[in-house]
Amino acid sequence: MDFFENKEQPERAVLVSLDTGEFDAESSVAEMSELARTAGAEVFGEVIQKKDKPDPATFLGSGKLDELKQLCDDNDIDLLIFDSELSPSQQRNIEKLTDVRVVDRTTLILDIFAARALSGEGKLQVELAQLKYSLPRLGGKGVELSRLGGGIGTRGPGESKLESDKRHIRRRINALEQDLNELEQRRKRYRERRKKDGVTTVALVGYTNAGKSTLMNTLTDAGVLAENKLFATLDPTARALTLPDGRSVMLIDTVGFIRRLPHKLVEAFKSTLAEAADADLILNICDASDDECAEQLAVTLDLLKELECEGKPVISVMNKCDLAQDLFSIPVIGDTVKISALNGTGTDKLLETIVRMLPPTRKRVRLLLPFSMGSDAARLRADSAVHSEEYTPDGLLLDVTADIHELERLKDYIQ
């Protein structure tokens, strides 16, 4: 369900967080504020309560809930957005006590993903995550489903409607899982075919809004949507990129990460994120101008571990370095390159680093090919980097950087 789009007036929202010391509540709320604006809400204010642990029934303490209800009544608040995952009973109890609609962090992110997914696969992935999250929340809907109550002799038509809805959702979940499994197998075959054909892949990963799509556009003219919004693009994009040594690699953009990304979304997008796990090299794009850059890097590292990407060569690409104050205090993963994807600063150094980090697949040699091997010369011109060529009495002399397997075939003609 889309909670925010197609509204004549944006919903006035209050952000609510519980500071238990488990994470930086203020930073998390600031990020949630961006999420809410991305979803189309108007953020009126923030409420943070310090508490050792959430109340099992109402998440917040009773006093803070009374304050929250008064705030909502006085300021015509339409929506409460909680910076944690609420249980179904907590959500119902808060709505009952405040008389304001409540969504949690997971619902908010799912809503943004639903609005951003464009491809058929992306839409299936988001729908699956939404249904799995909503299924346990159907129970106890009370007024909406006209349940008559609990116990023997109290199950009326509302209960039947609830069970019917649950069965429908379970059937839809099974169908979506089958469809996504087929797509995953197809994507797996594509990856296997790329490996068989010797295609080198470089995956762009990193925090959402760090500049992955902008870098993809700068390097390949991909024309990918690049906006100053969280999760501006969800669907993976693959484009050919020619490196300075002449070889062509496949540059693949992936979905952005975020702290405490709902596990159901990680599961739903596993096949998409697997592009990073199968890549020959990972570019970890970081927003060096963000005060939370170090924490964002940690989030990326944790997700890469979850995707079993440990051991892959990684380049930490410090984007927006023209806006950054101090890059020396940021802990990085792998080699580091400073760039500005927007104006192209540092991209030459990045390409050189990619060449150095990738396993050698090409070599520069001088070849003397007999004139009768014109088809081989044409293939080298098409698939390799020809630095110079000269017609001599003995044949065509080529200075070329070519694939090592191609050179093995032509080893008798190397000078």
**pLDDT digits over 360-392, tens only?**
777 889 999 999 999 999 989 887 888 899 999
349 pairs with which residues across the strands?
Answer: none
Distance, CA of 81 to CA of 17 (rounded, Å): 9
Residue pLDDT, tens place only, 21-58: 888 888 888 888 988 888 888 999 999 999 889 999 99
Which class in CATH covers the domain with range 199-357? alpha beta
Reduced to 3 states, what is the DSSP secondary structure of residue 375?
A: helix
Structure tokens at 27: 């930073």
Q: What is the DSSP letter of 247?
A: -
CA distances from 389 to 44, 104, 280 (A): 68, 65, 32
**Which residues lie closer than 8 Å to 24 by C-beta, 6 or more apart?**
295
Q: In the prediction, which pLDDT does 412 show?
A: 92
Mean pLDDT of 73-77: 92
- Which of 328 and 374 is assigned the larger pLDDT? 374
Residue pLDDT, tens place only, 81-100: 999 888 888 998 999 999 99
Residue pair 285/212 in contact (Cβ under 8 Å)? The answer is yes
**Which residues lie closer than 8 Å to 177 by C-beta, 6 or more apart?**
128
Of 9-18, 99-108, 189-198, 397-406, give the lowest mean pLDDT range. 189-198
Distance, CA of 224 to CA of 201 (rounded, Å): 18
Enclosing H/E stretch for 206: strand 200-206
Position of tokens 């039947």?
160
- pLDDT band at residue 142 under the 50/70/90 scheme: very low
For residue 319, pLDDT over 80 is answered with yes
The β-bridge relationship of strands 395-403 and 79-82 is unpaired
Residue pLDDT, tens place only, 275-310: 777 888 889 888 888 877 877 777 777 777 877 777
Residue pair 61/97 in contact (Cβ under 8 Å)? The answer is no
Q: Is 3.40.50.11060 the CATH classification of the domain at 12-115?
A: yes
For residue 135, pLDDT over 80 is answered with yes
- Nearest to 315, CA basis, from 283, 286, 347: 283
> If DSSP states are collapsed to H, E and C, what string results for 105-146?
HHHHHHHHHHHHCCCHHHHHHHHHHHHHHHHHHCCCCHHHHC
Residue pair 240/220 in contact (Cβ under 8 Å)? The answer is yes
- Nearest to 328, CA basis, from 338, 314, 315: 338
Q: What is the Cα 95 distance to its own chain's centre?
A: 31
Reduced to 3 states, what is the DSSP secondary structure of residue 41?
A: coil
Q: Is 3.40.50 the CATH classification of the domain at 362-413?
A: no
Q: In the prediction, which pLDDT does 328 show?
A: 53
For residue 199, pLDDT over 60 is answered with yes
59 pairs with which residues across the strands?
Answer: 55
- pLDDT band at residue 326 under the 50/70/90 scheme: low
Q: In the prediction, which pLDDT does 413 show?
A: 92
The β-bridge relationship of strands 101-104 and 200-206 is unpaired
**Which residues lie closer than 8 Å to 193 by C-beta, 6 or more apart?**
none
**Which residues lie closer than 8 Å to 17 by C-beta, 6 or more apart?**
25, 28, 29, 32, 46, 47, 48, 49, 82, 83, 84
Mean pLDDT of 139-164: 50
The β-bridge relationship of strands 42-50 and 12-19 is parallel
Residue pair 113/264 in contact (Cβ under 8 Å)? The answer is no
**Which residues lie closer than 8 Å to 49 by C-beta, 6 or more apart?**
17, 18, 19, 60, 61, 64
For residue 268, pLDDT over 80 is answered with no
Q: What is the DSSP letter of 324?
A: -
- pLDDT band at residue 168 under the 50/70/90 scheme: confident
Q: What is the Cα 201 distance to its own chain's centre?
A: 17
Q: What is the Cα 304 distance to its own chain's centre?
A: 12
- pLDDT band at residue 397 under the 50/70/90 scheme: very high
Mean pLDDT of 326-342: 71
Give the mean pLDDT of the chain.
Answer: 80
Distance, CA of 272 to CA of 266 (rounded, Å): 10
- pLDDT band at residue 148 under the 50/70/90 scheme: very low
Residue pLDDT, tens place only, 205-242: 888 777 888 888 888 876 655 555 555 455 667 888 88
Position of tokens 């570019």?
283
Of 173-182, 216-225, 332-341, give the lowest mean pLDDT range. 216-225
Position of tokens 């990680």?
266
Enclosing H/E stretch for 260: none
Residue pair 21/53 in contact (Cβ under 8 Å)? The answer is no
Q: In the prediction, which pLDDT does 392 show?
A: 92
% of the chain at pLDDT higher than 90: 21
Distance, CA of 258 to CA of 266 (rounded, Å): 11
